[in-house]
């Protein structure tokens, strides 16, 4: 994408003028396209056509109708290209030479409400330290406006670093108004947001959850074709917060009646392993259930998860840095039973905010373990690749969030959630391997464009529609209130 400010600003103005047009077209030309679609792979010097909120076609020379393009029907060859050529009439053309187009990253689990407390405990040593300081302390004084500020800050930061879909594990829903504020914050940023609602661990709350999920669905999630979706958030066991928040048959029935998925946090060790086997016996595992962390589980629990098609959200830096159970992200265990996991950020009070860090941490940890296990034995190595971790961060993350048919790859027919990454910046030039460049070379500064549902949310390197001075003031005021109010 051209880095000329005037050109970029002019293109953005054109896009904004046409933003309400459901047939608005954007044609990115001359890019290296990392589709993460197993059939399409990587396309060099190619074009991508967005129509409305979706990807319409992808391939070389779309405007001229050259063969090889894929259309929204999935067709390829001359017919697909011809249709694309007809469709580019009136398109806003973006010169994407020197860039990589890639799917937006998908965060499968982040406690977004905590964002104004970022890195307040960078050296926390264990789960107990986090639980007692944050969940039993700071969380108890949060007002609805603090929920809004934290969630909005987390979502805007996600967009800035290329995360176009974020599951907000919102486990501080003390009142209906707390839930409303978190949802409205996601909506106001324009991110593809998944609101996973749960009651708080400690302190006073209205006990409106899980019954309030019905109201939330009716009020905010009435359409299947919108940026926001709803899930139930629960815990694996009653060890931390008691039985009300622990996943089991009753909560599973509630979720099934509402037609929503379930995300289960704090899946650790022997107690969670026993819970997993109990869920398997009750028939409440499956593709619509996501188990988060999944560290220290028994082989029997993993077998049940694999056989049921249950999804897994790993939190690589959380497991390793905080030291959750074994402290080793369970990627090998997941792959061994046929589960390709999604990745997540978890808690910004102690961890990095971006997906690049998660991919690199997981890649390094898994490959270190593989080599270490085989060292001196002559045994075979089983190492994951940069393609694997990018797959986890995009396509598998979308599937884990229940959005595999919506986002996660640059596939014609899917929503246009995509990144424009500068491949010729100082830290990326020259472009040799595009996946290696995305995983090992790039960071937020290289992302000059972010589209969510075809709408630009970051352009020319700047997140759009954000008054940074006002946001800074709101974040500071919220943090001051939370830190200076006695825990309830």
d(CA 406, CA 354): 22
d(CA 197, CA 245): 11
| Contact yes or no for 305/339 (Cβ under 8 A) | yes
Position 73 pLDDT exceeds 60:
no
Position 266 pLDDT exceeds 90:
yes
Report which of 311, 306, 292, 304 is spatially closest to residue 236, judged by C-alpha positions: 292
The total number of residues shown for the chain amounts to 488
Coil, helix or strand at residue 402: coil
**Residues 117-148 pLDDT 10s:** 999 999 999 999 999 999 999 999 999 999 99
Position 7 pLDDT exceeds 70:
no
Q: Would strands 261-268 and 289-295 be described as parallel, antiparallel, or unpaired?
A: parallel
When pLDDT is averaged across residues 400-426 and rounded to a whole number, the result is 98
| 193, containing H or E segment | strand 192-197
Number of alpha carbons in the 13 Å side-chain half-sphere of residue 223: 4
**Residues 79-115 pLDDT 10s:** 344 445 556 888 999 999 999 999 999 999 999 999 9
| Contact yes or no for 162/393 (Cβ under 8 A) | no
As a dihedral over the C-alpha atoms of residue 410, residue 44, residue 84, residue 73, rounded to 10 degrees, the angle is: -40
**Strand segments (E) across 300-364:** 311-314, 342-343
Position 65 pLDDT exceeds 60:
no
Over the chain, what is the mean pLDDT?
A: 93
Domains, the chain, with CATH or none: 5-103+405-463 (2.30.40.10), 105-400 (3.20.20.140)
Sign of torsion, CA 315 456 155 4?
A: positive
> Does the pTM of the predicted model rise above 0.85?
yes
CB-count exposure of residue 17 (10 Å: 0-12, 13-18, 19+) = exposed
d(CA 143, CA 146): 5
Coil, helix or strand at residue 76: strand
């Amino acid at each position: 994408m051209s880095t000329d400010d005037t050109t970029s600003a002019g293109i953005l103005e054109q896009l904004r003028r046409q933003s309400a047009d459901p047939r608005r077209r954007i044609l990115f030309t001359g890019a290296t396209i990392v589709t993460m679609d197993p059939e399409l792979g990587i396309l060099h010097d190619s074009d991508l056509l967005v129509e409305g909120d979706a990807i319409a076609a992808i391939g070389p020379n779309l405007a001229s109708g050259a063969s090889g393009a894929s259309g929204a029907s999935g067709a390829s060859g001359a017919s697909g290209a011809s249709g694309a050529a007809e469709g580019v009439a009136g398109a806003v053309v973006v010169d994407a030479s020197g860039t990589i187009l890639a799917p937006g990253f998908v965060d499968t689990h982040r406690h977004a409400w905590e964002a104004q407390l970022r890195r307040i405990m960078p050296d926390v040593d264990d789960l107990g330290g986090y639980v007692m300081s944050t969940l039993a302390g700071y969380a108890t004084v949060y007002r609805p406006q603090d929920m809004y500020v934290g969630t909005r800050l987390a979502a805007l930061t996600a967009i800035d670093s290329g995360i176009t879909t974020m599951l907000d594990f919102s486990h501080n829903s003390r009142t209906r108004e707390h839930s409303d504020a978190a949802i409205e914050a996601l909506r106001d940023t324009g991110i593809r947001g998944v609101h996973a609602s749960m009651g708080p661990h400690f302190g006073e709350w209205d006990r409106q959850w899980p019954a309030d999920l019905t109201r939330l669905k009716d009020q905010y999630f009435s359409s299947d074709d919108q940026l926001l979706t709803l899930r139930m958030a629960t815990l694996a066991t009653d060890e931390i917060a008691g039985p009300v928040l622990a996943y089991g048959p009753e909560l599973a029935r509630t979720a099934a009646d509402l037609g929503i998925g379930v995300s289960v946090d704090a899946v650790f060790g022997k107690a969670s392993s026993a819970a997993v086997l109990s869920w398997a016996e009750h028939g409440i595992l499956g593709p619509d259930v996501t188990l988060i962390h999944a560290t220290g589980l028994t082989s029997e629990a993993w077998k049940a998860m694999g056989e049921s098609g249950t999804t897994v959200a790993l939190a690589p830096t959380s497991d390793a840095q905080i030291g959750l159970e074994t402290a080793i992200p369970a990627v090998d265990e997941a792959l061994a039973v046929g589960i390709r996991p999604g990745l997540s950020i978890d808690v910004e009070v102690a961890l990095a905010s971006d997906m690049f860090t998660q991919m690199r941490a997981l890649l390094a940890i898994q490959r270190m373990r593989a080599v270490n296990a085989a060292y001196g034995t002559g045994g075979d190595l089983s190492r994951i690749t940069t393609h694997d971790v990018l797959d986890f961060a995009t396509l598998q993350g979308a599937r884990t969030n229940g959005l595999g048919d919506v986002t996660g790859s640059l596939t014609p027919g899917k929503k246009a959630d995509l990144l424009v990454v500068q491949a010729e910046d100082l830290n990326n030039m020259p472009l040799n391997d595009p996946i290696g460049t995305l995983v090992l070379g790039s960071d937020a500064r290289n992302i000059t464009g972010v589209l969510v549902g075809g709408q630009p949310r970051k352009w020319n390197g700047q997140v759009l529609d954000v008054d940074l001075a006002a946001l800074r003031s709101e974040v500071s005021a919220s943090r001051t209130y939370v830190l200076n109010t006695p825990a309830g």
